């Protein structure tokens, strides 16, 4: 009865409470997206402006082989980043969730601390760290592991490192939340029933923390797909990514309609990827798990 009353109360007041959120949502998401969508069907002006002439040319152009290749390299980087974050973040979150109670907030703090510096600054820090005369090379040289400095600057490894360090917290936090709620006696039960560590991970731990894995993956994958600052800083702007391409259209080429069209292709790529991912998760769930 008590619960019912509460539910009624919440239901009655909910439209008013949703108002700030909804107006925010409309003003800063739906309206701008509408404008971008509108632009994407217009024609580029002679001097960088916009001509109000309807066309689908921009979308046709976006599926050009050159641009698809750019999409593919962005997608690849986002996937590599997300999977790397998952592989590194899961054990991290596990250690955090199983630590003694006073250590947990300490670990949590350590994960959050990097957010206090701007990510551009952090990217530069990595650049310095991996520089030809940077601490890493110095250390390796000093202990006689290398004779000449390893060139990290402008390599894919540097980009990967920058992406992973930047996005790791977005993976660790949802995983931590999922693991903290996890009943660890289930692991003992599984071990008692003869499961190996690998089986426990595959059959018990991962399926039961799936929500955290999905959330973390989305949190990392989505922004990573549009990322271009970190690859520019650490990779030397060698590979064009979708993020660079869009920025270029708006700021350099001043082809706003094409930039808008590319933005929408990106948005639909993200939605498409998520749909495929969630769909595969669902069918997995319906199948017999073992």
Partner 1 sequence: MLELKLLSKKFGSNFAVQNINLLIKDGEFFSLLGPSGCGKTTLLRMLGGFEKPTCGEIWQEGVRIDQLPPNERHFNIVFQRYALFPHLNVWENVAFGLRMKKVPKAETQSRVKETLDLVKMEEYADRSIETLSGGQQQRVALARALVNRPKVLLLDEPLSALDLKLRQQMQVELLALQRRLKHTFIFVTHDQEEALTLSDRVAVMNQGVVEQVGTPQEIYEYPKTLFVSKFIGSINSFSGEVKECTQDVLTVNGFFKRPIQVKPTRDGLRPLHQFHHGAQVHILVRPEKLKLLKSQPGPEQNSLEGSIKEVLYQGAITHFFVQPKDTNFPPVVASQPNSALTAKKGFSTGDRIYLAWSPEDCLAIEKETNNATQS
Helix H or strand E segment including 175: helix 156-180
Helix (H, G, I), strand (E, B) or coil at 43: strand
Asked if 199 touches partner 1 (CB under 8 A), the answer is: yes
- Shortest reach from residue 189's CB to partner 1, in Å: 4
CB 198 within 8 A of CB 214: no
Asked if 134 touches partner 1 (CB under 8 A), the answer is: no
Q: Is the dihedral of CA 188, 201, 210, 288 positive or negative?
A: negative
Asked if 192 touches partner 1 (CB under 8 A), the answer is: yes
- Shortest reach from residue 206's CB to partner 1, in Å: 10
Phi-psi region of 27 (alpha: psi -120 to 50; beta: other; left: phi over 0): alpha
Candidates 127, 191, 202, 254: give the one binding partner 1 (CB under 8 A). 191
Closest to partner 1 by CB, 148 or 192:
192
- Shortest reach from residue 183's CB to partner 1, in Å: 7
Cβ-proximal residues to 263 (8 Å cutoff; 6+ apart), any chain: 36, 40, 246
Closest to partner 1 by CB, 156 or 182:
182
- Which of these ranges, 16-24, 71-79, 80-88, 191-199, lies near partner 1 under the rule CB under 8 A? 191-199
Asked if 290 touches partner 1 (CB under 8 A), the answer is: yes
CA distances from 170 to 88, 214, 218, 242 (A): 12, 11, 9, 21
End-to-end Cα separation, the chain, in angstroms: 41
Length of the chain (residues) = 290
Closest to partner 1 by CB, 190 or 261:
190
- Shortest reach from residue 2's CB to partner 1, in Å: 22
Count of beta carbons in the 10 Å neighbourhood of residue 157? 13
Asked if 148 touches partner 1 (CB under 8 A), the answer is: no
- Which of these ranges, 51-59, 81-89, 189-197, 211-219, lies near partner 1 under the rule CB under 8 A? 189-197
Q: What angle do CA 210, 214, 215 make, to 5 degrees?
A: 115
- Shortest reach from residue 278's CB to partner 1, in Å: 17
Q: Return the C-alpha torsion angle 260, 262, 263, 264, nearest 10.
A: 90
CB 172 within 8 A of CB 188: no
Candidates 188, 236, 268, 279: give the one binding partner 1 (CB under 8 A). 188
**92: nearest Cα among 31, 158, 150, 171:** 171
Asked if 282 touches partner 1 (CB under 8 A), the answer is: no
Candidates 92, 172, 204, 262: give the one binding partner 1 (CB under 8 A). 204
Candidates 208, 240, 267, 274: give the one binding partner 1 (CB under 8 A). 208
Candidates 13, 196, 280, 282: give the one binding partner 1 (CB under 8 A). 196
Report the interface residues with partner 1, using CB under 8 A: 183, 185-186, 188-196, 199, 203-204, 207-208, 288-290
């Amino acid at each position: 009865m008590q619960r019912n009353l509460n539910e009624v109360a919440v239901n009655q007041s909910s439209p008013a409470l949703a108002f700030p959120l909804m107006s925010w949502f409309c003003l800063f998401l739906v309206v701008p997206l509408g404008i971008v969508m509108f632009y994407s069907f217009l024609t580029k002006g002679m001097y960088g402006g916009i001509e109000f002439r309807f066309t689908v040319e921009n979308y046709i152009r976006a599926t050009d082989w050159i641009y698809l290749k750019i999409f593919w390299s962005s997608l690849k980087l986002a996937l590599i980043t997300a999977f790397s974050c998952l592989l590194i973040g899961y054990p991290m979150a596990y250690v955090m969730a199983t630590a003694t109670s006073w250590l947990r907030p300490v670990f949590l703090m350590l994960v959050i601390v990097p957010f206090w510096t701007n990510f551009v600054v952090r990217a530069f820090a990595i650049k310095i760290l991996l520089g030809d005369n940077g601490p890493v090379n110095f250390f390796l040289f000093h202990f006689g592991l290398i004779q000449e400095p390893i060139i990290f600057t402008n390599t894919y490894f540097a980009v990967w490192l920058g992406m992973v360090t930047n996005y790791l917290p977005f993976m660790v936090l949802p995983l931590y939340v999922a693991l903290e709620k996890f009943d660890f006696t289930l692991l003992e039960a599984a071990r008692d029933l003869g499961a190996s560590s690998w089986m426990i991970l595959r059959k018990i731990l991962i399926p039961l923390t799936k929500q955290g894995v999905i959330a973390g993956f989305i949190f990392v994958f989505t922004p990573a797909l549009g990322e271009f600052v970190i690859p520019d800083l650490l990779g030397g702007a060698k590979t064009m990514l979708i993020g660079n391409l869009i920025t270029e259209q708006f700021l350099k080429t001043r082809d706003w309609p094409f930039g808008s069209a590319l933005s929408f292709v990106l948005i639909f790529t993200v939605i498409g990827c998520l749909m495929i991912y969630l769909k595969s998760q669902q069918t997995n769930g319906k199948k017999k798990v073992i």
